[in-house]
Amino acid sequence: MRVSRHRGRVAALTALAAVAVSGLTACSGDDRIKLTVQVFGGAGFGYEDLVKEYEKDHPDIDVDYQIVTDDYDNEFRPQVLQWLEAGSGAGDVVGIEEQGVGQMMSLGDAWADLSEYGLDKRESDYPSWKWEQGHTADGKLAGLGTDVGGMAMCYRTDLFKKAGLPTDREKVAELWQDWDGFTKAAKKFTDSDVDAAFVDSPNQLYNIRMVQEAGAADGISYFDRKDKYVAGDTEAVRTAFDYVAELHELGAVGQFENWSDEWNSAMQAGGFATMGCPAWMMGVIADTSGKENKGNWDVAQVPGGSGNWGGSWLGVPAQSDHPKEAAELADYLTKPKSQVAAFEAISAFPSTKEGQEDPKVADLSNEYFNDAPTGKLIADSVKEFKPVYYGELHSAVRAAVEDVLFGLVQGSYKHDEAWKEFVAAGQEVVDTA
């Protein structure tokens, strides 16, 4: 699950403080066990009905399900880190988002080992990469996967038609089976008289390519597995950076910063023709572009075939007074059947193989995108996805280097100069951490 919009910070911090106080209570008044689940996101993790069902089947347990904030990076993650460091305040079950999983898994002593409660039996439920990322550096099972983002490529059929490109999704997928094909499509688009960018922004394009390249190699991007900063020497990072520069030189890359008003307006008005689309992004497009653009958007396989943006895990902090019961609750909330229920509630795409194959998921089509088979597209994108190592400072470095990518497309840097600034921006994060 990926969250991006921010609420008022004062209100959010007030809510976080209230949550910290409530998280200190382990038992309710009648001595039943109280388990606190803390997650993030505007719609949370879709657990409302699941929690009610669990309480019904476990009359000795009360579950306090808290959607703490919708902002993971700036509010939820720092607060969880503070709770873990303090040894108090965290819930019994806590959500962990993809971009912060490396940092959380680096804190091995802060998490209960779920294998002690028999949950290592769940390995076969998951793709190997999702399972592996739920482990600490010393091999402890600390997180069970909830959802994945997967990856497809959304595109504007009206703009493609004007540019003389195919609009049928199967023909589009054939057009860009690989990144060379995507480049050819970008050139044809920019050579036309369509007044729009081919790609919405540099960062999405960069991250899709970088994750694919890293997964196909050794899984390393900004940090090696000893958490040494190696971005400047990592082929996957340089390949993705150079690809953004290449498309920028064609005039194909937009300057629309994700989640900005300008990005939203361009999405609605046809200011760009393509954008990376994990499962949850399709809802963003439909909501932002509005009814008037239904049918103007479609979705096809991403170049290279695989990818992922977003997704989460549930972990049990070692400070929990009831780690066994908390582990059992985390197990229940992440089972394939529960993941399908969460998918029905908030469209969180299951990370379990069985959940992805459920007809409610696999047969899903999206009316807004011309009845595109979105369930199959997303499931196919994660089947062959290879794991990428996210170091402790991955999220902070990512934010810093993406600023340089925007500087490149905005004309602040030339190609070679931008690469030096890119590597230096990440190094500065490491040096000042």
CA-nearest of 244, 160, 238, 243 to 423 is 238
- For the chain, domains (ranges, CATH) are 33-148+310-363 (3.40.190.10), 152-308+369-432 (3.40.190.10)
User: What pLDDT sits at residue 151?
Assistant: 95
Q: At residue 167, does pLDDT exceed 60?
A: yes
User: What pLDDT sits at residue 5?
Assistant: 34
Q: Which residues pair with 33 in a beta bridge?
A: 27, 61
Instruction: Decide the pairing of beta strands 311-315 and 144-148.
Output: antiparallel
Which segment of 18-32, 179-193, 240-254, 356-370 scores lowest on mean pLDDT?
Answer: 18-32
SS3 158: helix
Q: For CA atoms 138, 99, 211, 363, give the dihedral sign.
A: positive
Within 10 A of 212 (CB to CB), how many other CB atoms are there? Answer: 25
User: What pLDDT sits at residue 2?
Assistant: 47
398's tokens: 């990512």
Within 10 A of 128 (CB to CB), how many other CB atoms are there? Answer: 11
Q: Which residues pair with 96 in a beta bridge?
A: 313
Angle at 269 between CA 265 and CA 270, to 5 degrees: 115
Round to whole Å and give the CA distance between 80 and 16.
Answer: 10
User: What pLDDT sits at residue 20?
Assistant: 52
Average pLDDT over residues 103-130: 96
User: CB–CB of 273/160 below 8 Å?
Assistant: yes
CA-nearest of 196, 214, 194 to 206 is 214
Average pLDDT over residues 50-65: 98
SS3 226: coil
Q: At residue 26, does pLDDT exceed 80?
A: no
**pLDDT band with cut points at 50, 70 and 90 for residue 416:** confident
**pLDDT band with cut points at 50, 70 and 90 for residue 19:** low
